[in-house]
Amino acid sequence: MSMTRRKLLFLTPAAAAFLDRLGGEESTPPSKYLLADHYWAMSVDIGKCIGCGNCVRACARENGVPKGYFRTWVERYSVAGYPSEHPEVDSPNGGFDGFPGKNRPGSKSFFVPKLCNHCAHSPCVQVCPVGATFETPDGLVLVDKDYCLGCRYCVQACPYGCRYIDPPRQTVDKCTLCYHRISQGETTACCETCPTGARTLADLKNPKDPIHEFLRTNSVQVLKPHMATGSKVYYKDLDQSVR
Amino acid sequence: MKDAAHLLRLAGLFAAGIVIFLLIRRELVPAGFGQYGHFRPGAMDAVRARPMTYAGRTTCEMCHEGQLKLLQTGKHAQVGCEACHGPQAKHAGDSSSITPVLPTPHLLCPVCHEANSAKPKGFPQVAAKEHSGGEECTTCHNPHRPKPVG
């Protein structure tokens, strides 16, 4: 068979398409969990948080978070007066051991649980040079530990301070919103153990989820709204002093 | 045709280059990359593969009906079992050989109920040591239905 220029022109792209098909086999999701059916978020009711630290301990146990590192933590705010430019904030060991009782007469005190906000327009995803941090179709921000270089760009980019470098691996780690649990129909470890229901996992794509009622009927705010991160952790009755 | 030989050689080189590029690309680009975005879908599966430590309240309810009924009549009705009893996925998986250790009331109860000015108003709080006078919490309170009887 003689190779004419015409034949070559036809054959080259055909071979390319064939090879590309060989390489790009789609990975199949392991279970019945359908990415398109969910869009995860969380609601936090400040008025219900008692600062017990159950969420912090449960998160550490469920996800094997190293000591001294936190995927979720609780802050105690004490606001002496307004304008509250510099509220007093403490979080001893992230709230892991609870908060020793302190009476600050005349000041307003409350607890603020914090975790990754699983932003829809996440700054950490934008800065990752290797695409190791990504937003999933079901609304989570996750890390591909096999591709993370440990460059720490995302640690700096996260305006909420939710990322840390996992000491043994030297790759970044963060809250996964207990993806291994919620994809099996369970709630997150922090929500599971929150005794007052201050935290609730929410699925924005589920029309029956109480989150819709929660968002409609309450004064709801996200952290650092001016940064337009598309945060999906919705705080009820968040004080303006919270940073 | 004789005049076009140099062009054919060039085209052949290009074709070989493209094939080599595609072969290398096939090796380097992970499976499914770009399916959902600029990332490897396998990373999602890797995160999902983690085993659970907390079994979840619905799992507990499957066996512990009695406690559930009592719990539902009191103020702790909405509290998850593992909020107090700790992670029990192992126990749920093998209840015959793994027995959970009961929490110590005077250490556990104050985790939530020790008075703190930052706790929301209306949440029941006590200065545990003064309140109990050295007695164990469970002397008066049943943790599954905490209101003292009589």
Residue A54, domain CATH: 3.30.70.20
Q: What is the mean pLDDT of each run of 10 residues along chain A (243 residues)?
A: 62 60 50 90 96 97 96 94 87 93 80 97 95 95 95 97 96 97 96 97 96 96 96 95 88
Contacts of B117 in chain A (CB under 8 A): 101-104, 109
State whether B124 and B138 are in the same domain.
Answer: yes
Whether A68 and A167 map to the same domain: the answer is no
- Look at the pTM and tell me if it is higher than 0.90: no
- Percent of chain B exceeding pLDDT 70 equals 99
Q: What is the mean pLDDT of chain B?
A: 93
Q: What are the backbone angles phi and psi of residue A221, rounded to the nearest 5°? A: -140, 155
**A61 shares its domain with A116:** yes
For range B77-89, the mean pLDDT: 95
In a domain, A55, yes or no: yes
pLDDT of residue A16: 57
State the smallest CA–CA distance between residue B56 and chain A in angstroms.
Answer: 7
Task: Check whether residue A63 and residue A164 sit in a common domain.
Answer: no
pLDDT by residue (tens digit) across B93-132?
Answer: 999 999 999 999 999 999 999 999 899 999 999 999 899 9
| DSSP assigned state of A9 | H
Residues A114 and A203 in one domain: yes
Q: Do residues B133 and B139 lie in contact, with contact meaning Cβ atoms separated by under 8 Å?
A: no
The predicted structure's pLDDT at residue B31: 87
Residue A43 forms part of a structural domain: yes
Contact B125, B55 (CB under 8 A): no
Residues A106 and A178 in one domain: yes
Contact B128/B112 with Cβ under 8 angstroms? no
Closest to A139 in 3D by CA, of A38, A68, A237: A38
Domain count, chain A: 2
Taking alpha carbons only, the member of A142, A148, A234, A146 closest to residue A183 is: A142
- Structure confidence at residue A13 (pLDDT): 59
The whole-number pLDDT of residue A29 equals 46
**A30 interaction partners in chain B (CB closer than 8 Å):** 45, 48-49
Does one domain contain both A185 and A200? yes
A144 touches B: beta carbon within 8 Å: yes
Q: A-B interface: how many C-beta pairs under 8 angstroms?
A: 175
Query: Which residues form the domain of A46?
Result: 38-121+173-236
pLDDT recorded at residue A12: 63
